[in-house]
Amino acid sequence: MGTGYTSASGRMVAHNMVTTQFEIDGFRVLRTLGVVRGIVVRSRSIFGTIGAGLQTILGGNITLLTNLCEKTRSEAFDLMLQHAAELGGNAVVGARYDATEVMQGVTEVLAYGTAVVVEPSK
């Protein structure tokens, strides 16, 4: 399944080159390439909904939903990194997440930031 964000080389920005700050310690920004994003829209399966409902009765961490949320955020994050690589970036600054319920039981997770080209500071 193509995302439209995979670079020709199939590379992605390294996870350690992403920050919520607007600079990366030890690096200087050479070029700003623009906003990049990764979007995943996910629904709960009927089995997940039933299982999560049972977990709410028992109380505590609802692991079925925690795992679903973590997987969705991870996929959105990776799509953002692929988008940055497609633009020629080797880092992402100002990274953020956003989530919106599109309809009952269907959630959009957006990972976004600014793709940049950086080099180590001298």
pLDDT of residue 122: 84
**pLDDT digits over 11-48, tens only?**
789 999 999 999 999 999 999 999 999 999 987 655 55
∠ CA 96-63-79, nearest 5°, is 30
Pull the structure tokens for residue 105: 């039981």
Could you list the residue range(s) of the whole structural domain that residue 112 is in?
15-43+76-120
In a domain, 38, yes or no: yes
Number of structural domains (the chain) is 1
Say whether pLDDT at 10 is over 50: yes
pLDDT at 54: 57
**For residue 103, what pLDDT is reported?**
86
**Which whole number is the average pLDDT over 82-100?**
97
52 domain-assigned: no
- Listed residue (111, 100, 29) closest to 74, CA to CA: 111
Number of C-alpha atoms within 13 angstroms, CB side, residue 119? Answer: 3
How much is the pLDDT for 92?
98
